Amino acid sequence: MEKASLRQLIDDQNLLFSTNSTKEIGYRVTKLKKLKSLLKSKEEELYSAIHKDFKKSRFDTFTTELALLYLDIDEAVSKVQKWSKRKRVRTNWLNFPAKSYIYPEPLGTCLVIGAWNYPIQLSLAPVIAAIAAGNTVVLKPSEIPSGTSSIIADIVNSNFDKSFLHVVEGGVEVTTNLLALKWDKIFFTGSVNVGRIVYKAAAEYLTPVTLELGGKSPAFVTASCNLDVTVNRLVWGKFLNAGQTCIAPDYVMVESSIKDKFLEKLKNRIIEMEFSFENDNYVQIIDQKNFQRLKEMVSEDQTYFSGKLDETTRYFPPTVMSNVSFSDKVMEEEIFGPILPVLTYDNLSEAISAVKRYPKPLSCYVFTGESAVKTRIIDEISFGGGAVNDAIMHITNSNLPFGGVGNSGMGNYHGKAGFDAFTHKKSVLDKATWLDPSAKYPPYTSKKLKVIRWILGV
């Protein structure tokens, strides 16, 4: 799409927004329900597009993409009335007599930029939140899973008015053109480096941003954990989507006394889960560039368990690395693939300090039976969100705002937090006129100051 057409698109969306129709609760609910029924009717096409893009199965596509969106829509539909209501808050004495309110107000025309790894969910979940909050939206899905991007564009663009919701497909050039325009909100999911580009572009117009980025998310495994359950949940969380999950455990810090037992159980469980394309429980590495990047992270002498890589089908088997140290290549950047480095520790304080030398991660997981360890890790390490004795699953609880901190992002969404991400809280003091004390008006006197001090109590 050319620059001029993009500008026209924003103008049209701004115009619709200015009519106030997108703010009506009925309008929001109708559009959300319409989106759900379209997705339901196009499930088969979505399954086949995403399978073609990186062999993602129906099971995974339903559970990790579509189901989350359906639940998001249902929640927004049932709660949008409540979320959008003005909220009365207490008024301070200084303002007596008055009432005080917070009016949730949609921001306007919003840009959503998606990532490739969960291409349906990461594109449409912010869109659902933006619609629920009463905005108009332009979505730019990731161009990498091109089939999925094109079916999303088709579903949206053939069924919604352009001036309300529109998908613009494309890569860096298109995104750069979009970012040069003035938006009322930009919601970005992707890498830290592109996050910086988005943040800089947004600064030009002081546009508020939500940045959902990545990082190296640690998983602590202590000697007191339930080892079988820990291994089950870690193997599932790490190798889901072949490790191409922003909140996948990036590496494990295991207490050295249980390291051997842990590694053996890890290997057995990986074998038992039979991660393969034939079983429809494993996906391809998204492209050759990422395949080669991952290959270079693995050193043979540290490989504890792996399998046969297949470059032509981009099959990268679950790979466990042991005897890894923080200076190894695999520990330099976010892995974002099916490689699990296992590091050991004897002293929890040192382990925590080592993790804290990295930028703040998107997630942190603690597998332990000791509540003191759990509390220490949660209190001492700053991270976006996480779980105790589980991995990934916190994302499925929409009452938990989802997002990063520091390098892993800013702002959050899901459930009410998603509505808030696309909403301005407009504060209004509604004052009565029957009392208008003269103390605040000039000419000022020491007596008036005394009255003010008495009212303020300071």
Tokens of residue 454, six digits? 């008495």
CB of 424 to ligand NAD, least distance (A): 23
Q: Is 57 helix (H, G, I), strand (E, B) or coil?
A: coil
CB of 400 to ligand NAD, least distance (A): 13
Applying CB under 6 A, does 213 fall inside the site for ligand NAD? yes
CA distance 249 to 226: 18
Q: Is 367 helix (H, G, I), strand (E, B) or coil?
A: strand
Which member of 65, 75, 169, 212 binds ligand NAD (CB under 6 A)? 212
CA distance 238 to 363: 13
Which is closer to ligand NAD, CB of 111 or CB of 373?
111
Applying CB under 6 A, does 124 fall inside the site for ligand NAD? no
Tokens of residue 198, six digits? 């988005």
CB of 171 to ligand NAD, least distance (A): 5
Peptide bond before 359: cis, by omega within 30 degrees of 0? no
Applying CB under 6 A, does 243 fall inside the site for ligand NAD? no
Catalytic residue among 65, 75, 110, 246: 246
CB of 399 to ligand NAD, least distance (A): 17
CA-CA-CA-CA torsion sign (341, 347, 350, 351): positive
Question: In sequence order, which ranges of 186-336 are alpha helices (DSSP H)?
Answer: 192-204, 227-239, 259-273, 288-295
Q: Is 110 a catalytic residue?
A: no
DSSP state of 360: P
Which member of 32, 46, 111, 113 binds ligand NAD (CB under 6 A)? 113
Task: Describe the strand order of the beta sheet including 423-431 as a list of residue ranges.
Answer: 87-89, 98-106, 423-431
Applying CB under 6 A, does 337 fall inside the site for ligand NAD? no
Which member of 117, 148, 210, 368 binds ligand NAD (CB under 6 A)? 117
- Contact at 8 Å (CB) between 165 and 31? yes
CB of 454 to ligand NAD, least distance (A): 51
Which is closer to ligand NAD, CB of 77 or CB of 285?
285
CA distance 162 to 137: 9
Applying CB under 6 A, does 214 fall inside the site for ligand NAD? yes
Q: Is 370 a catalytic residue?
A: no
The residues binding ligand NAD (CB under 6 A) are 113-117, 122, 140, 142-143, 171-172, 175-176, 189-191, 194, 197, 212-214, 246, 334, 336, 362, 404, 409
Residues taking part in catalysis: 212, 246
